[in-house]
Structure 1
Amino acid sequence: MMKLCPVLFVIGFIFINVEGAPFDQNDISAAAANGDWNTFHRLIEDKFKLMRRRLSQGFDFKPNFDSIRSLQPDGPDSNVYGEAQYSFHSSSNVNGQKSEQRGGRRIVNKNGVVEEYELP
C-alpha cells in the first residue's frame, strides 16, 4: 500500500490541476459567446503578453534562409534555383484604437546569385 500512495497522490494532483486550468481557447470562446467582452479582451491580452515574452526571449517565427543562400551549382553544366518567402500581417482594434503591422522577406537564388527583397 505504501508504494501505491505516491502514485495515487500524483494522479490526484494531475487531475485537480487539469480540471482547475481549462483550455484558454475555450475560455475565450465562452466569454465571446456570453458577450463578456471585458473577460474576452483580458484573455486575448494575456495571450499576446505570452507571445511578446517569447519573442523577446529570441523565439522567432522567421524562417532560416541559409539553405537557399548557400545553393551553388555543382559544375559548369549544372544550374540551381531556390526561392523562399515569408510574410506576416497583424491588426487589432481595441476600444477604437487601431494598430496594424505587416511585412516580410523574399529570397531568390539563381545559380548562386542571391537577391533578397523586403516585402511591404
Structure 2
Amino acid sequence: MAMPISIENAEHYNWGDNCDGWHLVKSAALSVIQERVPPGCCEQLHKHEFAEQFFFVLNGQASLIVEAETHILNPQQGLHVPAGVVHQLCNYGEDDLVFIVTSTPPSHGDRVNQ
C-alpha cells in the first residue's frame, strides 16, 4: 500500500560539505530526491552519461552551471539538464537551498566527475 512520503520518513543521506538528501522516490527507472545545500556550498562539476535531470527550487536560490553558463533559479523555478551535459549546482545565497532533483534513469552510479 502506498504511503505519503516526506523528509520525515524518507531514506536520508549526507553528501558534500554538510549537505542532506532524502530519497522521495527510488526505483529502477526514476529517482526523486529533496536536497538541502547550506550557504556557500557547491557540488563537484560533473555529468551523467545516461540520466537526464530536472532541478526545481523550493527555497533559497540555486546557481546551476550548465556547460559553463550560469542559471540563477529562484523558488518555484526549475531547469532540465540533459544526459551527458556537464553541470554544477551551488548555493551562493545567504539561506539554505532546498530543491527537488528528478532523474531518469536514476543518476547514482552514473556520475562522471570533471
Instruction: Classify the TM-score, shorter chain.
Output: under 0.3
Structure 1 or 2: more helix by fraction:
1
Structure 1 or 2: more strand by fraction:
2
What is the TM-score normalised by the length of structure 1? 0.19
What is the TM-score normalised by the length of structure 2? 0.19
Relative CO higher for 1 or 2, CA cutoff 8 Å, sep ≥ 6?
2
Larger gyration radius, structure 1 or structure 2: 1
